[in-house]
Copies of this chain bind each other. A is one copy, B any other.
Amino acid sequence: MCGIFGIFGHEEAANLTYLGLHALQHRGQESAGIASSDGRGLYVHREMGLVQEVFPQAVLGRLVGSAAIGHVRYSTAGGSGIKNAQPLVVDFSMGSLAVAHNGNLTNAEGLRKELEGRGSIFQSSADTETIVHLIAISRGQTLEKRVAEALGQVEGAYSLLFLMPDRMIAVRDPLGIRPLCLGKLKKGGAPVIASESVSFDLIEAELDRELSPGEMLVMDWGGVRSYFPFRREERRECIFEHVYFSRPDTRVGKGTVYEVRRRCGEVLAREAPVEADVVVAVPDSGVPAAIGFARAAGLPFEVGLTRSHYVGRTFIEPQQTIRHFGVRLKLNPVRSTLEGRRVVVIDDSIVRGTTSRKIVKMLRDAGAREVHVRISSPPTRWPCYYGIDTPTRGELIASSHTSEQIARYLTADSLGYLTLDGLQQTVAEVTGGTTPGGFCHACFSGSYPIPFAPTPSSRQLPLLS
């Protein structure tokens, strides 16, 4: 998971990119970076840390120019470190180029070996460097042509931003797996690109539309031009963005992610009903579905668990020195909600099951008479190869256990999941445009829209530099 943002044609390009990245901070807290252009050259700064830590005012001030792209990153196994921070900035035959990437290539290892065989050198373990090499060896006359030619060779998920001194290019992969949308500033109309529409809200831009799968937008002083350089494919948007990653206030189609999640809760209440006294959420991501579940079930929605915001997001933090205090550092029960009650607790997903098990115990210790776990997505059974850092199959509890077995492991009185049909139907209804078949749901179904190399690389990677 990463977040990307770009703007072309505003004198405070770096400042607006800083704000845009701040709004995307939930998509990655490991490193942040911005590259700007003043029409002649590129300027870049990237570092480990949160956006507000990486960019004190003095640093932002050095990122001059009227175009900029930015990136926030979370770490993946083995790929942590400043070397993989983005945007990547290189010099090549056409001049200087900066790239920001959200996604994951499935044929990167093969391409890398080919490129190395041809004489290329690699200074990071990021797929992005592979894309840049392909652009550099392309014989296209324009950056657009080279980007199209390079991306024609890669497979996988990518939302990309390219910046050269005179232009910015945004591309969404042919299946549209990772999100990317276009907006424009209310004042002046400069085009902006972001992973989620929440970036636009903050900087007073308005959402124009999502990029179509396979679309390439070229922005320069002549305006914004749209191309479709790839073979058209069936849309396969990542459905897990709706379940977990995107912010609830992000707009999708004619609705919002919040609405999707609340309605998933409603459907879940019908698909997996239970006799109970109260519905609580695992905060914050479980709240919308819990509101929906409670309403559809005719049960009161209450706050049963509070969350400390002085500890980072479990799923994303690369180093957790205080993990041994367990989930209690982050979550705490509200005793008056739970005592003597039959409690339904709503979460967005179960990965390994260890956290859920601790939550059930926490609820019981606080006096809950019964604990019924309801998950607002189907069982997570398969790893993602398209840019989300999930455990291996073996670690995913649902890949090898039935719901009954999992419920027993969690010590829950019952466990219920949303069906894949229910999820797809709901997302399609809320977003309004996508047909139920238009999603990538490989993490639930194992139905991968893009084939991938079966053996992950075991190559020894250089340490942090």
Structural contact, A259 and B336, CB atoms closer than 8 A:
yes
Q: Measured between C-beta atoms, what is the minimum distance from A28 to chain B in Å?
A: 12
Structural contact, A116 and B89, CB atoms closer than 8 A:
no
Structural contact, A249 and B116, CB atoms closer than 8 A:
no
Structural contact, A119 and B133, CB atoms closer than 8 A:
yes
A221 an interface residue at 8 Å Cβ cutoff?
A: no
Structural contact, A321 and B45, CB atoms closer than 8 A:
no
Structural contact, B44 and A121, CB atoms closer than 8 A:
no
Q: How far is the CA of A306 from the CA of B309 in the complex (A)?
A: 14
Q: How far is the CA of A462 from the CA of B121 in the complex (A)?
A: 20
Chain B binder among A166-174, A296-304, A353-361: A296-304
Structural contact, B332 and A33, CB atoms closer than 8 A:
no
Most buried by B among A121, A291, A335: A121
Q: How far is the CA of A112 from the CA of B310 in the complex (A)?
A: 37
Cβ-defined partner of A42 (8 Å) among B63, B198, B335, B462: B462
Q: Measured between C-beta atoms, what is the minimum distance from A229 to chain B in Å?
A: 20
Structural contact, B33 and A465, CB atoms closer than 8 A:
yes
Structural contact, B202 and A325, CB atoms closer than 8 A:
yes
Contacts of A40 in B (CB 8 A): 460
Complex: chain B residue closest to A300, CB-CB: B295
Q: How far is the CA of A310 from the CA of B295 in the complex (A)?
A: 31
Structural contact, B96 and A121, CB atoms closer than 8 A:
no
A453 an interface residue at 8 Å Cβ cutoff?
A: no
1/0 per position for A314-334, CB-CB distance to B under 8 A?
A: 000000011001001100111
1/0 per position for A418-462, CB-CB distance to B under 8 A?
A: 000000000000100000000000000000000000000001111
Number of copies: 4
Contacts of A276 in B (CB 8 A): none
A386 an interface residue at 8 Å Cβ cutoff?
A: no
Number of chain A residues close to chain B: CB under 8 A:
86
Structural contact, B132 and A121, CB atoms closer than 8 A:
yes
A337 an interface residue at 8 Å Cβ cutoff?
A: yes
Chain B binder among A250-258, A343-351, A390-398: A250-258
Structural contact, A306 and B463, CB atoms closer than 8 A:
no
Contacts of A90 in B (CB 8 A): 121-123
Is chain A's interface secondary structure helix, strand, loop, or mixed overall?
Answer: mixed
Cβ-defined partner of A332 (8 Å) among B51, B62, B198: B198
Structural contact, A332 and B57, CB atoms closer than 8 A:
no
Structural contact, A302 and B291, CB atoms closer than 8 A:
yes
A73 an interface residue at 8 Å Cβ cutoff?
A: no
Q: Measured between C-beta atoms, what is the minimum distance from A123 to chain B in Å?
A: 5
Q: Contacts A57-B321, A201-B333, A328-B201 given: A462-B89 contact, CB under 8 Å?
A: yes
Q: Measured between C-beta atoms, what is the minimum distance from A293 to chain B in Å?
A: 13
Cβ-defined partner of A201 (8 Å) among B22, B23, B309, B332: B332
A262 an interface residue at 8 Å Cβ cutoff?
A: yes
Structural contact, B334 and A256, CB atoms closer than 8 A:
yes
Contacts of A201 in B (CB 8 A): 328, 332-333
Structural contact, B123 and A123, CB atoms closer than 8 A:
yes
A188 an interface residue at 8 Å Cβ cutoff?
A: no
Q: Contacts A301-B301, A463-B43 given: A334-B249 contact, CB under 8 Å?
A: yes
Q: How far is the CA of A35 from the CA of B50 in the complex (A)?
A: 28
1/0 per position for A36-67, CB-CB distance to B under 8 A?
A: 00001111111000111000010000110000
Residues of chain A whose beta carbon lies under 8 Å from any beta carbon of chain B: 19, 22-23, 25, 33, 35, 40-46, 50-52, 57, 62-63, 85, 88-93, 96, 112, 116-123, 132-133, 136-138, 165, 198, 201-202, 247-249, 251, 255-256, 258-259, 262, 287-288, 291, 295, 300-303, 306, 308-311, 321-322, 325, 328-329, 332-337, 430, 459-465
5 A-B pairs closest in CB distance:
A41-B460, A119-B137, A309-B309, A256-B336, A93-B116
Show 20 A/B contacts (Cβ-Cβ < 8 Å), sorted by A. A19-B325, A22-B310, A41-B459, A42-B462, A52-B310, A52-B322, A62-B463, A63-B463, A89-B465, A91-B112, A93-B117, A119-B120, A119-B133, A165-B460, A201-B333, A247-B306, A249-B306, A258-B303, A258-B334, A259-B334
